[in-house]
């Protein structure tokens, strides 16, 4: 007997930004696995059970959810944002890949959501309006020299850069190092957006030029978006600046 496994994204944390498809998956499930604060976003019925766990326990969480689904239950693994971007969908696939044969036949549905960089971009204008990338600054799962190499190459490519996991207590220096490295390649005036908790009551959006960007402006709830040389800022009287990247590419004028 085989149950179902949903892997959903709640969106950035504003209930209005969670899709009906994700809400339906929640209604259809009886056991919920996820990081505490993401599970807290859900209003569950008395018959629905939460199994909360901490950060960095993603693989064992995925295994526990798969075991329960394989035993016949409708199970929901809950990510913030989109489950496919630096989140639980990859952990579930890793567990399926390495796990017992019956996990491969679990009825798996990944439900997409609004990932943080999209919510941040929307609140500030359109910084992701042209070619961009998303890079996790966490060196828990990849060596720091790989991160540096990637940052250099994408900056040379002229892509806008969205940084996920920019900073934490255990990783205090990485974002400052990334800014220093990018200052060697990008103009000092390049806008940097610190988008914290976009769409939630404690939202805070801040824009600084790369030349002055300070890592301390970010925390674990922040997605940092670094413009390309094309990215522009629009001053608006009485309103916050807009930051956007035009759809067209202008040849450098030097």
Question: Segment 138-157, which members bind a second copy (CB under 8 A)?
Answer: 141-143, 146, 149-150, 153-154, 156-157
Q: Is 132 in the site for a second copy (CB under 8 A)?
A: yes
Number of residues that bind a second copy (CB under 8 A): 78
Closest contact distance (angstroms) between CB of 200 and a second copy is 13
Site track for a second copy across 163-202, x = CB under 8 A: ----------------------------------------
Residue 19 makes contact with a second copy by CB under 8 A:
yes
Report the C-alpha gap between 180 and 185 in whole angstroms.
Answer: 9
Residue 25 beta carbon to a second copy: minimum distance, rounded to whole angstroms: 10
Choose, by CB under 8 A, the member of 108, 175, 186, 192 that binds a second copy. 108
**Rounded alpha-carbon distances, angstroms, from residue 164 to 88, 141, 152, 182:** 15, 13, 17, 16
Closest distance to a second copy from the beta carbon of 133 (Å): 4
Strands (E), the chain: 4-9, 31-35, 49-53, 74-79, 107-111, 125-126, 132-136, 160-164, 191-196, 204-209, 222-226, 232-236, 239-244
Q: For residues 36 and 54, is the Cβ–Cβ distance under 8 A?
A: yes
Q: Which is nearer to a second copy, 199 or 210 (CB)?
A: 199
Using CB under 8 A as the binding rule, the residues of this chain from 34 to 93 that contact a second copy are 58, 82-87, 89-93
Of the candidate residues 123, 171, 200, 217, the single one contacting a second copy (CB under 8 A): 123
How far is CA 231 from its chain centroid?
21
CB of 10 to a second copy, least distance (A): 11
Would you count residue 134 as binding a second copy (CB under 8 A)? yes
Residues 206-225 binding a second copy (CB under 8 A) are none
Contact partners, residue 131, CB within 8 Å, separation at least 6: 157, 158, 159, 160, 228
CA 170, CA 135: separation in Å to the nearest integer? 18
Q: Whole-angstrom Cα distance, residue 133 to residue 115?
A: 13
């Amino acid at each position: 007997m085989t149950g179902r496994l949903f892997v959903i994204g709640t969106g950035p944390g504003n209930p209005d930004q969670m899709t009906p498809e994700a809400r339906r998956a929640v209604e259809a499930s009886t056991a919920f696995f996820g990081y505490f604060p993401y599970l807290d976003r859900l209003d569950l019925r008395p018959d629905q059970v939460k199994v909360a766990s901490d950060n960095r326990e993603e693989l064992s969480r995925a295994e526990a959810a798969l075991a329960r689904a394989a035993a016949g239950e409708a199970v929901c693994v809950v990510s913030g944002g989109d489950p496919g971007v630096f989140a639980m969908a990859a952990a579930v696939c890793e567990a399926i890949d390495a796990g017992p044969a019956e996990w491969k036949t679990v009825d798996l549905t990944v439900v997409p959501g609004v990932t943080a960089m999209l919510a941040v971009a929307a609140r500030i204008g359109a910084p992701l309006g042209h070619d961009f990338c998303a890079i996790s600054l966490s060196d828990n799962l990849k060596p720091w020299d790989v991160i540096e190499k990637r940052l250099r190459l994408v900056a040379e490519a002229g892509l806008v850069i969205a940084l996920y996991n920019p900073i934490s207590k255990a990783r205090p220096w990485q974002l400052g190092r990334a800014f220093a490295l990018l200052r060697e390649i990008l103009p000092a005036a390049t806008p940097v957006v610190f988008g914290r908790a976009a769409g939630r009551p404690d939202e805070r959006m801040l824009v600084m030029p790369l030349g002055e960007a300070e890592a301390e402006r970010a925390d674990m709830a922040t997605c940092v978006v670094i413009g390309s040389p094309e990215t522009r800022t629009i001053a608006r009287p009485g309103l916050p600046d807009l930051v956007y990247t035009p759809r067209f590419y202008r040849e450098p004028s030097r």
